[in-house]
Structure formats: structure tokens, C-alpha cells
Amino acid sequence: MFHNAQILGLTREETLNRFDDIAGFADIGDFLDQPVKTYSSGMMMRLAFAVQTAVEPQILIVDEALSVGDMFFQAKCMARINKLVDSGVSLLFVSHDIGAVRQVCKRAVLIDGGRVSGFGSAAAVTDKYVKLQLEDRNLAGGSNVGAESDEKEPSSVEQAVPVVLNKDFANSDFNDITIGQEAFKKRADYNRVSNGDAEVVNVQMLRNGDYTSDFDFDDEVLVKLSVLMHKTLENLDVAFKVRTLQGTDVLFFDTRLKNEMHRIYEKGKLYAFNWKLKLPLMHGSYVLSCGLAHPPVVSGAEWQSVDVIPFVYEFRMSPRQHGMIDGYVTLPVELDISVLN
């Protein structure tokens, strides 16, 4: 530890002054007095991170360091990284953990096959990374991403024909599907991944029956996902997320959690998935993302992505009138207070 600290520019006296902080953060117990060759890779990473962040660096490079250790140690690392960044330290953070990248980084670079594949905001770049992973997974599973099927059905979002409402749709509760659809199409083009089996054709939000993108704390809203089937599928999972503009996932809902998986969705039919929920969210701007997935034929295999859209709707939450909440979301709880003495 002393040798490493000296290489980083600390004198022996400075290292001694920070010894308790380094030892406490690394939390490897009596192994601190043992030769490094006896350490596991996790122990080495714990001690290295503790020393590196104790020297008050101007530039900190973290390369997959948070992939080791238990959840408590990882939480400590994230807290220290955030503190250093807030103090003005420049951070170069290398990771496959998109949640961590979104949390600590403002800008990101995506490297694919040794080449720069994307550069921009952390949210945009991590969305592109997810898109590449989904495309690779679908291709490995034999899906028809980017290729026409034998039935000449749309094999990608760009090739899909526009939705035309017939008289049956026009006489149903779905006759408002076109409201906001042009804006939806523009947003949906961003990093969309689809195999053409089904297509989300619109996502809408309503409050008291009115289409809107402005809500108050704990408003009851209706989220409407309209899905057009290009192929008959069974057990389709339909999901959506509420995310911050920085890409942090806040809320998640899907048909699997509601035990609504065991259905047959027929080719050519338009389905409406109407979700009623409350929004007990902190003030600020949020986005909706959505996705369709099909369970694997072989047990234990990965799910197949049918249509995944990282950005389909943006909405704003007004500040809570009676006291702010100190977190993205607050859930209903029951509280009991009693005197114990």
C-alpha cells in the first residue's frame, strides 16, 4: 500500500495520515498485513481503489473496478466517485454496466470491435449499446432483423407500412390512435430494434381523459400502448419503463408481472394495452421507453426482442405542493407510531 501511494505522489507521512481511511474503505481485514501475492483479485481491487481515490487525483481512471466486491462495497465506490466528480475531478469510467455509466457520466464513448461506434450523452450512447446487444442477440437467435421474410411482412421499423384504421377500428375505443402519432414516429426511430413480428404504433398518456405531457405529483394517469401484429404470436410480453432524462430507470411495468402472458395475439390485429397507474414522482422531466419480447422456445434460453424503443414519450412532473420528496419516487406505506416506554 505504501509503495503504491508513493508512486501516486504521497509521502510516507501523508500515507500514514490517510491509513485509517484507506484501510477502512478497503475493508480486507488482517490481509492488509499480508503479502499482496496472497490477495484475491477482489482484494487487490478493493485496496487499489481505496489508495487511488485517497490521493485526491485530478484525473481518475476506473476500469471495471465496480465489478468486484459485494453490493455494499460497490455502493461505497459509487458514493466516493460521485463525491470526487462533484469536487471537480475528471473521471474516465470504463464499464459494461450501463446503469453505472448513466449514473456517474455525462458524456460517453462506445467502442465496438476496437473502433469508436458512438459519442454523445451517456443516455444516448448507452441506448446505442443496448441496441447493438439486442441486434446481436436476435441475429444469434436466427431472427429476421434487417431482412425481408418469406411473407413479405415488414422486417424492420423503417419498412413497416403505415397503420390504416379500418371501419372496425374506427368504431372501437381505438379511434384516437393517431393522436400524437407523428411525434411518436420521430421519437421511435431513435435506436429502435425490431424483428418485424409486431410493432408498437403509438404510445400516449392521459389524465382525466385528456392527452397531456404535464402532470402533478401522484396524478392517476393512463398509459396507452397500441401494438399492431404482423405475425401471430403467443405469450408476448409487453413492457414499459419510466426513465430520467439521464437514462436512470425509475419504474417498470409489464404483462408478465400482471400474469397476462398467456394469450394469443393474431396477425393483422391492433391491440391496446391500457395501464392505469399513479405518478408519485419527484419534479422534473421523464421519458417512457417500451418493448415487446417473446419467450424462448427452449427453457433457459434468452428472450427474443420483438420491438424495443428506448424513447417514446416525454413528460414533466410539477413540484409537489406540500413538501418536496428527496428521491425519484415515493411509494404508499402504512406507518404506525407507538410509545415503547
Q: How many CB atoms sit inside 10 A of residue 216's CB?
A: 13
Residues sharing a CB contact under 8 Å with residue 7, sequence separation 6 or more, in sequence order: none
Same domain assignment for residues 211 and 300: yes
pLDDT (tens digit per residue) in 143-154: 444 333 333 333
| Torsion angle defined by CA atoms of residues 71, 73, 79 and 82, in that order, rounded to the nearest 10 degrees | -100
How much is the pTM?
0.64
With respect to residue 337, please indicate whether it lies within any of the assigned structural domains: no
pLDDT at position 336:
93
E strand or H helix at 200, and its extent? strand 198-207
Number of domains composing the chain: 2
pLDDT (tens digit per residue) in 326-336: 889 998 899 99
Q: Is the pLDDT of residue 287 over 70?
A: yes
Q: What is the mean pLDDT of residues 26-55?
A: 82
CATH code for the domain in which residue 27 is found:
3.40.50.300
Same domain assignment for residues 174 and 312: yes
CATH code for the domain in which residue 250 is found:
2.70.50.60
More confident residue, 79 or 316: 316
With respect to residue 323, please indicate whether it lies within any of the assigned structural domains: no
CA 53 to chain centre: 27
Same domain assignment for residues 161 and 43: no
Three-state DSSP at 115 gives: strand
With respect to residue 295, please indicate whether it lies within any of the assigned structural domains: yes
pLDDT (tens digit per residue) in 101-132: 888 888 999 999 889 999 999 888 988 888 88
By residue range, what is the domain housing residue 29?
A: 2-94
Same domain assignment for residues 181 and 80: no
More confident residue, 73 or 203: 203
pLDDT (tens digit per residue) in 177-191: 888 888 899 888 888
With respect to residue 123, please indicate whether it lies within any of the assigned structural domains: no
With respect to residue 294, please indicate whether it lies within any of the assigned structural domains: yes
